[in-house]
């Protein structure tokens, strides 16, 4: 029988009523003749609560125990979903990650899936089971410890299962009815896209649009998984939601197709470092060793052999970055007069594959922000995106102004 993967996010399994509603959706696909692999998230808010408990005990916690705790929310929903399906007379069984087993690397809290053996679950399908319910977000390391895939990781579990089992499609059920031109919670002019190219979705996800985890889009692109985002709250047809697909499958497209934002950014400046060969390596080596995810970087023009170096990173990593840089200074590897952290910035990005062939997008973006009186602190560009750092208090305004300026509410 053809296989379908259906993933339900936190709000879609937030309570027993919603689990019943999701199970009904699964029942519809089973009735059509699919064997279904259901991937579930933890109930809404549960993972945050678990993370909070870990942080309360220890800020610099053992990542293996963090994973042991935060993976547990998905175990509950997997069992509850299997029970609900059984109550509907749909033969179903639940699996935790280690039981499949979802084999991952041992990078705790940011593990990557390496292998998903299919024999276990396929044997059950062969015996007449119609739905395998798998706890998302989790796996098992080569050392036999529980791992998690990073926040939002159930999306990646879903796409990885779709690839491993050769599923006909991977449906991501969430609390919005598709991928929009920007977060519909920020702009009421956001427009749902019927289709979006893998490359654009990849950029939007990595620049902050949390509707899909970045890694899930990477996997879908690599294994050509037919990936769809749709709402678990509405009745759905086969054409509902947004299809994430190859560029060639999209007929019309705007130059800019999406605006993403990332709220929790920080900008750090090393004031007056020596401008000499090797200085960038001496700064960013220790930051990388400390696990700081450096994003944008600017080096100023040197004056009398000294320069300022500015970079951005997630606001939660500022303390770690400061320690790494102060330690490097103590060791005599770098020298700076001051280290300034601006923790009130946000990153806004415009994304579109049309930028490859059309110039003027950056100029329009800068003009729009300037017309709103918004100061740009750092700029970064790539082939299909332009990102800027601005004061966080202007974030919503910037998203809305850019959405208007690029006329994203209108179809190309």
Binding site for ligand ASP (CB under 6 A): 9-10, 41-42, 47, 73, 136-137, 151-155
Instruction: Report the residue number, 285 or 314, with the smaller CB distance to ligand ADP.
Output: 314
Tell me the residue nearest to Mg ion as measured from the CB: 152
Shortest Å distance, C-beta 412 to ligand ADP:
17
- 9 belongs to the binding site for ligand ADP (CB under 6 A): yes
Rounded Cα distance between 85 and 20, Å, is: 8
183 scored as a contact of ligand ADP (CB under 6 A): yes
User: 244 near 238, Cβ under 8 Å?
Assistant: no
66 vs 180, beta carbon nearer ligand ADP? 180
Q: Which two tokens stand for residue 79?
A: 């069992």
Q: Which of residues 240-269 bind ligand ADP (CB under 6 A)?
A: 258
Residues 138-177, one symbol each (x = binds ligand ADP by CB under 6 A, - = not), give --------------x---------------------xxx-
Map residues 1-40 to x or -, x wherever contact with Mg ion holds by CB under 5 A: --------x-------------------------------
Contact, 104 vs 112, CB < 8 A?
Answer: yes
Among the residue ranges 45-53, 178-186, 246-254, 345-353, the one whose residues contact ligand ADP (CB under 6 A)? 178-186
Q: Of 300, 42, 224, give the one whose Cα is nearest residue 151.
A: 42
Query: Is position 152 an interface residue for Mg ion (rule: CB under 5 A)?
Result: yes
CB of 56 to Mg ion, least distance (A): 24
Neighbouring residues of 126: CB distance < 8 A, sequence distance ≥ 6: none
Does residue number 71 form part of the binding site for ligand ADP (CB under 6 A)?
Answer: no
Tell the smallest beta-carbon distance from residue 116 to ligand ADP (Å): 20
Residue 77 CA to residue 10 CA, distance in Å, equals: 9
**CA distance readout (Å), 193 to 20, 100, 229, 412:** 28, 35, 10, 11
Torsion sign, CA atoms 242, 247, 248, 254: positive
Q: Are 349 and 261 in contact (CB under 8 A)?
A: yes
Number of residues that bind ligand ADP (CB under 6 A): 20
| Residue nearest ligand ADP (C-beta atom) | 9
> Closer CB to ligand ASP, residue 154 or residue 310?
154
**Contact present, 66 and 130 (Cβ < 8 Å):** no
286 binds, among Mg ion, ligand ADP, ligand ASP, none (CB under 5 to 8 A by kind): none
Helix, coil or strand: residue 99: helix
Cβ-in-10-Å burial (0-12, 13-18, 19+) of 314 comes to middle
Residue 226 neighbours by CB under 8 Å, 6+ apart: 162, 168, 169, 170, 243, 245
Candidates 40, 41, 100, 272; binder of ligand ADP (CB under 6 A) is: 41
Tell me how many helices (H) and strands (E) the chain has: 12, 18
Q: Does 286 bind Mg ion (CB under 5 A)?
A: no
Using CB under 5 A as the criterion, which residues of the chain lie in contact with Mg ion when the complex forms?
9, 152
Using CB under 6 A as the criterion, which residues of the chain lie in contact with ligand ADP when the complex forms?
9-12, 41, 152, 174-176, 179-180, 182-185, 204, 209-211, 258
């Amino acid at each position: 029988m053809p296989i379908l993967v259906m993933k339900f996010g936190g709000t879609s399994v937030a309570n027993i009523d919603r689990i019943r509603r999701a199970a009904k959706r699964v029942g519809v696909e089973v009735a059509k003749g699919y064997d279904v692999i259901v991937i579930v998230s933890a109930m809404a808010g549960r993972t945050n609560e678990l993370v909070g408990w870990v942080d309360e005990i220890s800020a610099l916690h053992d990542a293996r125990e963090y994973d042991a705790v935060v993976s547990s929310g998905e175990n509950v929903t997997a069992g509850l979903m299997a029970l609900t399906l059984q109550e509907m007379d749909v033969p179903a069984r639940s699996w935790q990650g280690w039981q499949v087993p979802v084999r991952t690397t041992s990078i705790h809290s940011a593990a990557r899936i390496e292998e998903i053996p299919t024999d276990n679950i396929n044997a059950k399908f062969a015996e007449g089971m119609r739905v395998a319910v798998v706890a998302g977000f989790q796996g098992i390391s080569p050392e036999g410890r529980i791992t998690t895939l990073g926040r939002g990781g159930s999306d990646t579990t879903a796409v990885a299962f779709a690839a491993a089992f050769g599923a006909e499609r991977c449906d991501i059920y969430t609390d919005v009815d598709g991928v929009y031109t920007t977060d519909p919670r920020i702009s009421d002019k956001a427009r749902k896209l019927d289709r979006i190219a893998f490359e654009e979705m990849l950029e939007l996800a990595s620049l902050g649009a949390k509707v899909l985890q970045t890694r899930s889009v990477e996997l879908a692109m690599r294994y050509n998984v037919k990936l769809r985002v749709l709402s678990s709250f509405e009745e759905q047809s086969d054409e509902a939601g947004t299809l994430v697909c190859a560029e060639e499958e999209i007929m019309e497209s705007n130059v800019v197709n999406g605006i993403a934002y990332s709220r929790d950014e920080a900008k750090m400046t090393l004031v007056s470092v020596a401008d000499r060969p090797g200085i960038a390596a001496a700064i960013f080596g220790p930051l990388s060793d400390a696990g700081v995810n450096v994003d944008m970087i600017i080096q100023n023009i040197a004056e009398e052999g000294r320069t300022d170096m500015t970079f951005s990173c997630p606001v939660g990593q500022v303390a770690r970055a400061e320690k790494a840089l102060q330690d490097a200074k103590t060791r005599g590897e770098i020298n700076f007069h001051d280290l300034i952290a601006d923790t009130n910035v946000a990153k806004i990005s415009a994304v579109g594959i049309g930028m490859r062939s059309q110039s003027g997008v950056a100029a329009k973006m800068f003009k729009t922000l300037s017309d709103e009186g918004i100061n740009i602190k750092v700029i970064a560009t790539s082939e299909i995106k332009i990102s800027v750092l601005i004061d966080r208090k202007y974030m919503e305004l910037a998203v809305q102004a850019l959405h208007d300026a690029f006329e994203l509410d209108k179809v190309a």
